[in-house]
Amino acid sequence: MLLAGKSFRSGDDEILKNGSEFYRVEMTFGDSRKVAAVYEISAGKRMFTVDGKKTSRLPAAKKYPVVLFEPEDLHLVHSSPAKRRDFLDGLISQVDPEYHGIVLRYGRALRQRGNLLKDENCKPEAVFPWDKILADLAEKIVAGRVSLLQQINNLVSELYGQIAGVDSTIELSYKNSLGREYRATHFLRELEKNYTKDKFLGRTTVGPHLDDVQFRFNGASMVLTASRGEVRSVMLALKFIEAGLIFDFTGKKPVVLLDDIFSELDETRQRRLVDEFRDNQVIITSVSAPPGLKPDVEL
């Protein structure tokens, strides 16, 4: 909440203690800066206090990179396309502050176009301005995703080998709904071509909001061929890459949040996880202390 400006939980009400009317979270940095977040049910909104000044959002300059690892991440390969898109977009946003705004603007434009398509009096010329906005933003979103996947592919097989102790080839490929290279002009023509179908369905049927990432393991689909242990090793490798890329781009070692992840990993992978993040500040929830790591606070 205080590092990224939001929780990985879906809403403020989920963070409230049962029966409580508000929550307050406060943190002091090593340089004595203070950040606090307060949410009150009666107000219906969250407010931040940063160095004594109140704001509805945590300023980008005050954010600090975070790597979150929760049990659900281990199922990313078998999860929904939306989860895989969120994984890419979340990582890119941490290394490129402008990217998050691009994704938000694309989402708003997509909703506006969808509302128009549901209007029985809608004409093609009414949606064209939104088509143009979507096309320009889509090109930037997909370029960011493809670039990130290239960086991941340069590292993931080697890291996997270090974790699993065997050599395997891991590849992540981008599956786009456009069926061709994402250029604004290409996408704009596709939106115009699909207008009749989109109007009938009341939604936009092509675009980065429908794209996916395919995981391949030694040349075959990871969903079909990889064991649970192999998938877990791949996900560990991705988290190590995430932390490394954040440090390379920002010069900051991210805070690592491990939310009840050790019950999902065998001892070998637990030790690899602990060793990899030994130089980071790590906050862990677990029913038992991870191997080789003594907690600062034990509840």
Chain position carrying tokens 């490929």: 173
- Digit-coded pLDDT (tens) for 235-273: 999 999 999 999 999 999 999 998 888 888 888 888 888
Query: At residue 52, does pLDDT exceed 90?
Result: no
Q: What single-letter DSSP state applies at residue 17?
A: P
Q: Report residue 293's pLDDT band, with 50, 70 and 90 as the boundaries.
A: low
When pLDDT is cut at 50, 70 and 90, the band that residue 295 belongs to is low
Instruction: Specify the higher pLDDT residue, 170 or 74.
Output: 170
Report yes or no: 221 and 215 within 8 Å, Cβ to Cβ: yes
Q: What is the mean pLDDT of the chain?
A: 90
Q: Beta strand 220-221 with 212-217: parallel, antiparallel or unpaired?
A: antiparallel
With 70 as the cut, is the pLDDT of residue 141 above it? yes
The distance of Cα 211 from the centroid of its chain, to the nearest Å, equals 15
Q: Is the pLDDT of residue 298 over 60?
A: no
Using 50, 70 and 90 to split pLDDT, how confident is the model at 62?
Answer: confident
pLDDT digits (tens, 9 = 90+) for 3-16: 988 888 777 888 88
Is it the case that residue 127 has pLDDT exceeding 80? yes
Give me the pLDDT at residue 194, please: 94
Q: Outline where DSSP puts E strands in the chain.
A: 22-28, 34-40, 45-50, 53-55, 66-69, 170-175, 212-217, 220-221, 255-259, 282-285
What pLDDT digit, counting tens, does each position of 268-289 carry?
888 888 888 988 999 988 877 7
Q: Residue 284 corresponds to which tokens in the numbers above?
A: 């862990």
Q: Which one has a higher pLDDT value, 139 or 294?
A: 139
Confidence of residue 297 (pLDDT cuts 50, 70, 90): low
Interhelix angle 124-153/184-193, rounded to 10 degrees, is 130
pLDDT band, residue 189 (cuts 50/70/90) = very high
pTM of the predicted structure, to 2 decimals: 0.86
pLDDT of residue 294: 63
Residue 144 has pLDDT above 90, yes or no: yes
Q: Is the pLDDT of residue 54 over 60?
A: yes
pLDDT given for residue 296 in this prediction: 63
pLDDT of residue 291: 67
Q: 196-246 pLDDT, tens per residue?
A: 999 999 999 999 999 999 999 999 999 999 998 899 899 999 999 999 999
Percent of the chain with pLDDT over 90: 62
Instruction: Give Cα 180 distance to the centre of its chain.
Output: 25
Domain locations along the chain = 12-59, 82-246
- Does domain 82-246 correspond to CATH entry 1.20.1050.90? yes
